[in-house]
Structures are given as structure tokens and as C-alpha cells.
């Protein structure tokens, strides 16, 4: 039985701070972290993070070693070699924006390895890219049923719900994820955007932006948002 984990990048790939799923690997899954050490951890060093001790069947969560503030999610479902190869091919297709082909491969992967969250999340992202929002939602729900409040799945689901105009539901998804995984910074950023632009809740937005900015002080865009919010709140 292979120990399967996922990797993601913490940096946003757009103004809205979207998170990109990169790959399933046989290494540690490192969440976005708070604190100077974890904050500056480059992507190429992620594989060097020491894995936690052996875990029982099913997903588990552990803290990062050596004083780093963050988390590791380890899943231990069956993942056949063929599924891993198909998943890697699908990721390459998504990076080339060949989403239709990626959907076909990822559907095959989830059929063969239904207990792994990463293929469901990527499949949802591919479906969204081709405008099929209902299957995108169903795949994110499946991922969240496997690992409740999974930070990446929650982040993607919140953005999908916002796109579908279901703002209150998006907020609930974000807030649940933050309760379980407060170190996953993109959720804070996106909850702030949701509160400011869609829910008319500047206090919520400011709280989330400030939390995020404290951990990611180099994000100048969020600093601008914070300054604008503070000014507008003083003027009211």
C-alpha cells in the first residue's frame, strides 16, 4: 500500500490568490505555514521535510518538525503505479491548459483510486476550467468527504461557490477550513476577498487580510487592500 500525499504552492497565481495543485508524490504534504522559517520554505525543499511516524489507515494530520509552524496531511489509500502515471500525465495536461484531456485521465484515476483526495481536487479544477461547475462541485464534495475541511479542497470549493453566487456557503466553507487548518493562508486571503467584495463585511475582511499579511509581509497587494479598508472604515 503506497503512502500518498499531495503538494501545492502557497503563492497565489492570480489577484484572487488561487491555489494550484501540482502533483501527487511519495513525500510529505506541506501546508502553507506561519512563521519565519516556514514562510520562507522554498518549494524545492518541501521533499526534505521529515515525514511523521507511520500512521494508521486513513488520513491523518501532524505538525511540521524542527520548529516549523504548519501541517502535514498523510493519506494511506491504495494507489497503483498506473494511477500515479496517469495522474502525472493529467497534471502535465493541466499545466498545458489541455483540460478536456486531463478530465478524461483524472476520471480514470479516481475510478481506480477512489480514496485519494488530490485527483478529485484536480478533476474539479479541470471541470471548472471547461465550464462544468456541477461536476466540479461534486468532486470537491467527494474530496471533503474523504478529508473533512481539507484546506486545498476547501479553498477551491469556496472560490467555486463564490463563482456560483453562493456567498454564504462559501464563507461557511472557508471558516470551517480555518478552524481546522488555520495555517493555510490562501483561505484567509480568499475569505477576506469574499467578505469585502461580496458580503459587505469590512471587519471580517480586515481581520483576514491582517492575519494573512502578518504571515506574508511581502504581499504588497494585500497591504494596499488593508490600507484602503482602514481608510474607508474610518470615514464611515
- pLDDT tens, position by position, 214-230: 999 999 999 999 999 99
- CA–CA distances in Å: residue 28 to residues 23, 51, 64, 123, 162: 12, 6, 10, 22, 30
**Residue 58 clears pLDDT 60, i.e. is over it:** no
Contacts 24+ apart (CB under 8 A), 22-28: 22/91, 23/87, 23/88, 23/91, 23/118, 24/79, 24/84, 24/87, 24/88, 24/116, 24/118, 24/119, 26/2, 27/51, 28/52, 28/72, 28/74
Q: Do residues 9 and 30 touch, judged by C-beta distance below 8 A?
A: no
CATH top class, domain 5-78+124-235: mainly alpha
Average pLDDT over residues 47-64: 40
Position 66 confidence tier, pLDDT thresholds 50, 70, 90: low
Q: What is the pTM of this model?
A: 0.76
Q: Do residues 122 and 94 touch, judged by C-beta distance below 8 A?
A: yes
Position 29 confidence tier, pLDDT thresholds 50, 70, 90: very low
Break the chain into its structural domains and give their ranges.
5-78+124-235
Amino acid at each position: 500500500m503506497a503512502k500518498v500525499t499531495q503538494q501545492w504552492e502557497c503563492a497565489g497565481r492570480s489577484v484572487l490568490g488561487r491555489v494550484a495543485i501540482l502533483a501527487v508524490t511519495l513525500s510529505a504534504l506541506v501546508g502553507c505555514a506561519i512563521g519565519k522559517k516556514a514562510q520562507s520554505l522554498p518549494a524545492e525543499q518541501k521533499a526534505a521535510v521529515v515525514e511523521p511516524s507511520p500512521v494508521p489507515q486513513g488520513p491523518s494530520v501532524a505538525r511540521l518538525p524542527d520548529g516549523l509552524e504548519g501541517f502535514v496531511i498523510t493519506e494511506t489509500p491504495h494507489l497503483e503505479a498506473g494511477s500515479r502515471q496517469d495522474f502525472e500525465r493529467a497534471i502535465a495536461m493541466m499545466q498545458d491548459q489541455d483540460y478536456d484531456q486531463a478530465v478524461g485521465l483524472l476520471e480514470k484515476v479516481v475510478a481506480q483510486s477512489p480514496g485519494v483526495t488530490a485527483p478529485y481536487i484536480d478533476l474539479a479544477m479541470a471541470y471548472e476550467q471547461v465550464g462544468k461547475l456541477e461536476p466540479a462541485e461534486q468532486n470537491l464534495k467527494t474530496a471533503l468527504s474523504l478529508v473533512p475541511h481539507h484546506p486545498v479542497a476547501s479553498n477551491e470549493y469556496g472560490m467555486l461557490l463564490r463563482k456560483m453566487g453562493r456567498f454564504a456557503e462559501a464563507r461557511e466553507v472557508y471558516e470551517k477550513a480555518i478552524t481546522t487548518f488555520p495555517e493555510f493562508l490562501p483561505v484567509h486571503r480568499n475569505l477576506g476577498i469574499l467578505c469585502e467584495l461580496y458580503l459587505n463585511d469590512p471587519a471580517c475582511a480586515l481581520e483576514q487580510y491582517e492575519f494573512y499579511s502578518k504571515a506574508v509581509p511581502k504581499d504588497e497587494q494585500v497591504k494596499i487592500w488593508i490600507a484602503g479598508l482602514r481608510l474607508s472604515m474610518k470615514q464611515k
